[in-house]
Amino acid sequence: MQHLTAADAEDRQRRIAGGLLARGWGEGDRFALVAPSSATLLLTVLAALRRGIVPVVLNAALTERELAALVADADVVGRLGPAEISRLAESSPVELATHPRARPMHYTSGTTGTPKGVWSGLLTDEQAAALVAEEDELWGFSADDRHLVCSPLHHSAPIRFAAGTLLAGGEVVVLERFTPAAFTDAVETFAPTTTFMVPAHLQRLREAGAPDLGSFRLLAHAGSPCPVPLKQWSIDRFPTDSVWEFYGSTEGQFTTCPAGEWVDRPGTVGRARPGRSLAVDDDGTVWCTVPEHARFTYWRNPEATARAWRGDAFTVGDLGRLDEDGYLYLDGRRDDLIISGGVNVYPLEVEQALHDLEGVDEVAVFGLPDERWGQRVCAAVVGAATPEAVQAHARERLAPYKRPKQVFVLDVLPHTATGKIRRLDLADECARTVDQARSDW
């Protein structure tokens, strides 16, 4: 684990920013950042943003083929890995803006599975200050905080919480990789006050046994639905009123829900964040009206941008319902999206990688419930290919979290009259196969 004080973080950011400027990179430029979680990765993101240089933060677990496609699409001025960002801190320091002048650019996908860059552009000084103030006021970041980073820093939420803490003068402890043992060690060594986790982290902690959690004033969780027993365990184990859920996406944030409100309304993901409002269409599509500093476009994709926005409100295509007091209940994520361990997996992308395997005549990818990960990635194939061949092919072409954990070989796949695969029917059929196999054990 790595420990950052605010003073050390500020000095290192100034030197990292100096290194970026020495490369000739300037305001509005984008660069690809591909490295495992570390304090240096976090500081590089923050240093760049405070000079108006936008890091395109990519998952280091992606294959080179996957990375190359995203780097090309982002039209970057360069690409930095672990060795390069370590050397940046040896540069001469430069001055930094008080607030980040942009949001990092992350890639996400919709139901099409086509990666889309979420681009906020450069913020004015007023917008930049408002963005930081919104997070500070909501989560109460202060110089007294010590934030524990549990989730990979190529995701937007872990960066937001860690950066907000440093900007407020607090300290940050970074776990390069989450394990219950590493978490326990960090808690016992540093007594952190805040952390962000996905339900898969909490499940592993529950299974392994949690340490004394009395130092925490805030556990924020999101990323996937949290099973009720796990949610109740978290509320019982963490200090009173410290557990908060929020609902959001890479594109933007919708709601927050403190523990007490969830206890009164089990299943809700809360109400709109301050300064925002929610609406639900007749078909269940959830929309969120946001302030100017929270707007975005999809990089070089005006059609997707137009679909996402309606005036000052945006949607990511999720479905839900609002009760009379404004509490949101989600009825489903994007139609085909799989959320495994808090990470989005898009079936079409996996299917495209498997389709070119000899012996795969047809393939459909879907999620099945999983006690640890929320959902596990599964594939159903028609053809002569064996499950072992499908999984071996996936290992060559896909990052680990995208690879099917189970492969079902079927005679036919269920289709609608228009030829679309009925994924829900397929998932139900395969789930029954799993349940029958278990009953035969």
pLDDT exceeds 60 at position 60: yes
Model confidence band, residue 435 (pLDDT cutoffs 50, 70, 90): low
Closest CA to 137 of 239, 273, 264, 265: 273
What distance in Å separates the CA atoms of residue 341 and residue 212, rounded to the nearest whole number?
24
The encoded tokens of residue 395 equal 């290992």
- Predicted local confidence at residue 417, as pLDDT: 47
CA 236, 238, 244, 247 torsion: positive or negative?
Answer: negative
What distance in Å separates the CA atoms of residue 378 and residue 222, rounded to the nearest whole number?
23
Burial of 69 (0-12, 13-18, 19+ CB in 10 A): middle
State mean pLDDT over 47-58.
98
- Predicted local confidence at residue 441, as pLDDT: 40
pLDDT, tens digit, 9 for 90 and up, residues 372-430: 888 899 999 999 999 999 999 999 999 999 999 999 999 988 865 445 677 778 888 88
- Predicted local confidence at residue 424, as pLDDT: 75
pLDDT, tens digit, 9 for 90 and up, residues 2-21: 999 999 999 999 999 999 99
Model confidence band, residue 236 (pLDDT cutoffs 50, 70, 90): very high
What distance in Å separates the CA atoms of residue 108 and residue 19, rounded to the nearest whole number?
29
- Predicted local confidence at residue 334, as pLDDT: 60
Phi, psi of 170 (to 5 degrees): -90, -175
> For residues 207 and 128, which has the higher predicted lDDT (pLDDT)?
128
- Predicted local confidence at residue 111, as pLDDT: 42
The encoded tokens of residue 346 equal 């898009």
- Predicted local confidence at residue 242, as pLDDT: 98
| Bridge-based pairing state of the strands 30-34 and 54-58 | parallel
pLDDT, tens digit, 9 for 90 and up, residues 313-347: 999 988 889 999 999 998 755 667 788 888 888 78
> How crowded is residue 303: how many other Cβ atoms within 10 Å of its Cβ?
8
Give the contacts of 357 (CB within 8 A, at least 6 positions apart).
385, 389, 390, 393
pLDDT exceeds 50 at position 213: yes
pTM exceeding 0.85: no
- Predicted local confidence at residue 402, as pLDDT: 92
Burial of 396 (0-12, 13-18, 19+ CB in 10 A): exposed
pLDDT, tens digit, 9 for 90 and up, residues 154-203: 999 999 999 999 999 999 999 999 999 999 999 999 999 999 999 889 98
Closest CA to 84 of 25, 39, 30, 40: 40
Answer whether 262's CB lies under 8 Å from 245's CB.
Answer: yes
Residue bearing tokens 């992350």 = 106
The encoded tokens of residue 303 equal 């059609």
pLDDT exceeds 60 at position 436: no
pLDDT, tens digit, 9 for 90 and up, residues 272-322: 999 999 999 988 899 999 999 999 999 999 999 999 999 999 999 888 899
The encoded tokens of residue 232 equal 């109740």
User: Which H, E and C letters describe the chain, residue by residue?
Assistant: CEEECHHHHHHHHHHHHHHHHHCCCCCCCEEEEECCCCHHHHHHHHHHHCCCCEEEEECCCCCHHHHHHHHHHHCCCCEECHHHHHHHCCCCCCCCCCCCCCCCEEEEECCCCCEEEEECCCCCHHHHHHHHHHHHHHHCCCCCCEEEECCCCCCHHHHHHHHHHHHCCCEEEECCCCCHHHHHHHHHHHCCCEEEECHHHHHHHHHHCCCCCCCCCEEEECCCCCCHHHHHHHHHHCCCCCEEEEEECCCCEEEEEEHHHHHHCCCCCEEECCCCEEEECCCCEEEEECCHHHCCEECCCHHHHHHHEECCEECCCCEEEECCCCCEEEEECCCCCEEECCEEECHHHHHHHHHCCCCCCEEEEEEEEECCCEEEEEEEEECCCCHHHHHHHHHHHCCHHHCCCEEEECCCCCECCCCCECHHHHHHHHHHHHHHHHHHC
Model confidence band, residue 227 (pLDDT cutoffs 50, 70, 90): confident
> How crowded is residue 166: how many other Cβ atoms within 10 Å of its Cβ?
23
pLDDT, tens digit, 9 for 90 and up, residues 105-152: 999 854 445 789 999 999 999 999 999 999 999 999 999 999 999 999
